[in-house]
Structure 1
């Protein structure tokens, strides 16, 4: 058993260091990235997954006999399972988190090549499983914990023999229908098409960690559309689990997150979770208190978004009065929810041609008006200076009581379209705060014909009746994803005479939100000969990394960095990996920087050390620079002064390899990037 555990860890080491690799597709090398902190593990049966608790993993996809696990789980799994039950440990493709199968496919040229295939399998610890049933030129091979490599490496190696026609590594594609358009009533859901929801679904259909609270009349728990994503919730009257006071909340919930299950309709974010917070929404002496409690309970119990399809009906039933208690609850949700990033609060604008209260009480609330299928403002949709945008709200088909569906109209139906899109956005980028998410939704709106939009507003051109325009799910989710933080290596400095490097790391995208911190690490740094490293915070979005090898062989190899962004409550909300492809050594020669603009500086290390200079008196060397395909520069330089500068303005931006030739022998090589 111990040998098995050690072998699993060795595989993990191998994968974590191989952040960039490739596979063959129709004879061409296709570059891909390997997720350095996740692995696909295969078991002999599903019961092993259940018994080890691996199916509870939140790392990603799982399926029959396999799941994606993290580094910690990989170390633990060998202790929980028998040696005969673990089949293989394979990579995960980044950034899509696509698992890789322990199977790969080989197309032979002639039937005589089956003998070669069997010989290849034996020599590399693989197994020829079978022919593909209806495609007899293709064979299925499998890897195991005893194989010479993972399934991608084995497929590559097989192709590189030149003895087979084609190979196909076993990527486990999560193929699904193109959207909810196979739901029986998709053709009647005009609103989803109007907001371009299928474009958003190309990126995400939501995530179970994103919770949308529906503060309304409750959600029918037995409805078939909510069997996979409905929480127990809370009833503000009794203090117990949510109950149902009418079908309004069920209709709203279906617009947000009805499941894609071949039944009835689809919601905007079908893979998000729903949190019912029930209230009869009738006039009572304690209504403000109850609704304030509902808002507070929602964000305190993990709601990412709170949908409020209710308001004071434009003052129709009572005067335009205010509730400090209710407004305070909204304020706290907007500022303290989501561990300080703020819970997204949406309100319907109302159906009385003016903005309802309390949707009008705070400019950080996303206030939503309604349009009909003709893309014109609904005749009663509330409008005015606090209106953010409009969404479909006339004849909207969604879930109702008694496990069926029905049409309803009003801004109550428009608002959940926006709540659903907010859930999609947070699924791809959980670091968006209230202001950033609202700005993205507003600025990506579709301008509607027949309305004049004026400039000078915070998020673009605006109109009194339609706000910034019609909700665009596809654009909003795409922008949200594009703002995910990434690590950019902006400067690399090699310290002469020692195996030490100083690397500047910048956080791009939305950066690190205020109050959040980064937990830095270099996984398995010992395997890159790193004996010490430190991360120093220079600013909120800039860190300085120092790495060093203080022992023989005084040579730091390329390594991976992992950064986990944590909220003030220590909840990890985003994980970033980056490969540092540079080496640091006490070699006689060194690049001063590995990220350059118009010139390349080469230095002779320890130029003042007389002993070294006497032992290596040659200062004239040849420098060769190669692109990924061929040599693009060759130049003789004189290092008698310690440093020489080579212009590289004529070379385009990209990755290059440099080598130094001394007396016909390559004595130094390194990678560098030209970036301007």
Structure 2
């Protein structure tokens, strides 16, 4: 059970900016339709007014050839399964959306190729090189950059603080992670409903979440590896499926799980698939956008600070491309990358060893809150100090290097966990304010695309996160 009391949602959560007015749920007398019983079932997020009775939800879903997988009454979001190709049309295209169905639908010209290309580019930035050196401490240049060793000497963080790692799962037997991982608050969310079976939240095809977790709170004295806040607890909340996708229903489940279990911080080193952008004005997109928005807002109201990666596309987030790089949809100023662009989410850009923006990192005035080490293959440390990409835990109890804003975000989440440990009564917006205020300003230093003063600019936001300042 959560250690936070239940809070009623304000009206803005049901009918806020970018939200969708929802028709009343159908009753048992709703007209029935001929339902497909043989086609592949797909999972959808479906919008309702918050606190709609579950019986009404079930009745409407049954009348439209669907069935309930999960229902989050507090935010009025159901996760439904249906074999009917027209399920979204039956419910309303502004109320229902399936990411998996869009991935499998061949109709969008070149969409599959666009998605594959986008994922290949991300994987190029986040390649892994296993490191076998006995003592890894000298290679943790990223920790020294943000003064984590000095911070650890003062405060390693509190076990009463839990960081939810919304990712591909955390290897439960890794020597750096067994001390911090809390199986009792871990869950798999890929179906849209939380599953506490260890097989549901353990990693399968990707060690991405394991790497992220080591940065936040890993500790292996035998190998000389220490993360930022090794005294806090971590929960593995698996939202990445075996194909590498994070669908809206998985993200909703993850944020709701974090809210209900009293996590102080979540790290979100991903964007919600299958598009890079979700547009509230477009059918289908509007339902997915609103479902994730409500879940994020609810988690924040329940005391959770959500930290997210800025992205690896190397573009100005205030001037996005005209079409979605993953699926060719038109993009306008109202379209957002989820969850990083939602109100209250701390967005993190990446820097390399030299302390300048990583070549792949997204940026943008008012879009980036802080920056942190994500690595860059063009910014190499001196010999003996490791690779250009940060080192952390990977599969089979090993250690390896990865680059990306995915690696920068957990550095900020770890520092936020130290702030939450030292000041346990701070609400999430105050932790975010402390994270920004304690960051070390980073000047643009002549980069043409970088605009703004050192205290707040388009590349680095309020500056480089500072673990030592967080514990003072």
TM-score by length of 1: 0.40
Q: Offset at 1:251?
A: 0.4
1:235 to 150, 169, 188: 188
Equivalent pair of 2:436/2:462 in contact (CA under 8 Å): yes
1:392 to 363, 373, 377: 373
Q: Offset at 1:443?
A: 1.7
Cα 1:195/1:219, change in 2 over 3 Å: same
Q: Quote the residue 2:147 is aligned against.
A: 196
2:269 to 306, 309, 324: 309
Is 1:324 aligned to residue 290 of structure 2?
yes
In structure 1, the gaps of 5 or more residues are 1-182, 337-341, 479-676
Q: Quote the residue 1:280 is aligned against.
A: 240
The residue matched to 2:251 in structure 1 has which SS? helix
Is 1:259 aligned to residue 219 of structure 2?
yes
Q: Offset at 1:314?
A: 11
Q: Offset at 1:287?
A: 1.8
Distance 1:186 1:314 in 2: 38
Equivalent pair of 2:246/2:273 in contact (CA under 8 Å): no
Distance 2:166 2:435 in 1: 22
Superposition pairs for residues 431-470 of structure 1, below 5 Å? 431-449=425-443, 450=445, 454=452, 461-470=455-464
Q: Quote the residue 2:345 is aligned against.
A: 365
Cα 1:306/1:286, change in 2 over 3 Å: closer
The residue matched to 2:267 in structure 1 has which SS? strand
Q: Offset at 1:283?
A: 7.4
Equivalent pair of 1:313/1:350 in contact (CA under 8 Å): no
Cα 1:256/1:461, change in 2 over 3 Å: same
In structure 2, the gaps of 5 or more residues are 1-133, 318-335, 376-388
Equivalent pair of 2:439/2:466 in contact (CA under 8 Å): yes
Cα 1:286/1:477, change in 2 over 3 Å: closer
Q: Offset at 1:280?
A: 2.5
Cα 1:307/1:314, change in 2 over 3 Å: same
Distance 2:269 2:353 in 1: 20
Cα 1:354/1:240, change in 2 over 3 Å: farther
Q: Quote the residue 1:3 is aligned against.
A: none
Distance 2:159 2:359 in 1: 37
Distance 1:453 1:443 in 2: 19
Is 1:427 aligned to residue 421 of structure 2?
yes
Distance 2:273 2:338 in 1: 10
What per-residue deviation string (whole Å, max 9, x for no partner) do you get for residues 109-134 of structure 1? xxxxxxxxxxxxxxxxxxxxxxxxxx
Q: Quote the residue 1:527 is aligned against.
A: none
1:346 to 290, 307, 327: 307
Q: Offset at 1:244?
A: 1.0
Distance 2:160 2:436 in 1: 24
Distance 1:285 1:227 in 2: 26
Equivalent pair of 1:314/1:350 in contact (CA under 8 Å): no
What per-residue deviation string (whole Å, max 9, x for no partner) do you get for residues 592-613 of structure 1? xxxxxxxxxxxxxxxxxxxxxx
Equivalent pair of 1:214/1:307 in contact (CA under 8 Å): yes
Which structure shows the bigger proportion of residues in helix conformation?
A: 2
Cα 1:360/1:404, change in 2 over 3 Å: closer
> Which structure carries more relative contact order (alpha carbon 8 Å, separation 6+)?
2
Equivalent pair of 1:354/1:381 in contact (CA under 8 Å): no
Distance 2:171 2:244 in 1: 24
Higher Cα Rg, which structure: 1
Q: Offset at 1:434?
A: 1.5
Q: Quote the residue 2:19 is aligned against.
A: none
Q: Quote the residue 1:299 is aligned against.
A: 259
Q: Offset at 1:240?
A: 2.9
The residue matched to 2:348 in structure 1 has which SS? strand
Distance 1:318 1:472 in 2: 32
Distance 1:408 1:307 in 2: 16
Distance 1:391 1:286 in 2: 23
Distance 1:332 1:421 in 2: 23
Equivalent pair of 1:426/1:432 in contact (CA under 8 Å): yes
Cα 1:410/1:224, change in 2 over 3 Å: same
Distance 2:262 2:203 in 1: 21
Q: Offset at 1:228?
A: 1.4
Equivalent pair of 1:367/1:388 in contact (CA under 8 Å): yes
Equivalent pair of 2:452/2:458 in contact (CA under 8 Å): no
The residue matched to 1:297 in structure 2 has which SS? helix
The residue matched to 1:202 in structure 2 has which SS? helix
Distance 1:454 1:286 in 2: 34
Equivalent pair of 1:224/1:263 in contact (CA under 8 Å): no
Q: Offset at 1:324?
A: 0.5
Distance 1:316 1:359 in 2: 11
Equivalent pair of 2:190/2:250 in contact (CA under 8 Å): yes
Cα 1:329/1:464, change in 2 over 3 Å: same
Superposition pairs for residues 633-648 of structure 1, below 5 Å? none
Distance 2:152 2:352 in 1: 23
Q: Quote the residue 2:170 is aligned against.
A: 219
Distance 2:452 2:216 in 1: 31
Equivalent pair of 1:371/1:390 in contact (CA under 8 Å): yes
Is 1:244 aligned to residue 203 of structure 2?
yes
Superposition pairs for residues 518-533 of structure 1, below 5 Å? none
Q: Offset at 1:427?
A: 1.1
Q: Offset at 1:461?
A: 2.6
Distance 1:285 1:254 in 2: 22
Which structure shows the bigger proportion of residues in strand conformation?
A: 1
Q: Offset at 1:294?
A: 1.3
Superposition pairs for residues 624-639 of structure 1, below 5 Å? none
Q: Quote the residue 2:329 is aligned against.
A: none
Q: Offset at 1:202?
A: 3.5
Q: Offset at 1:261?
A: 2.4
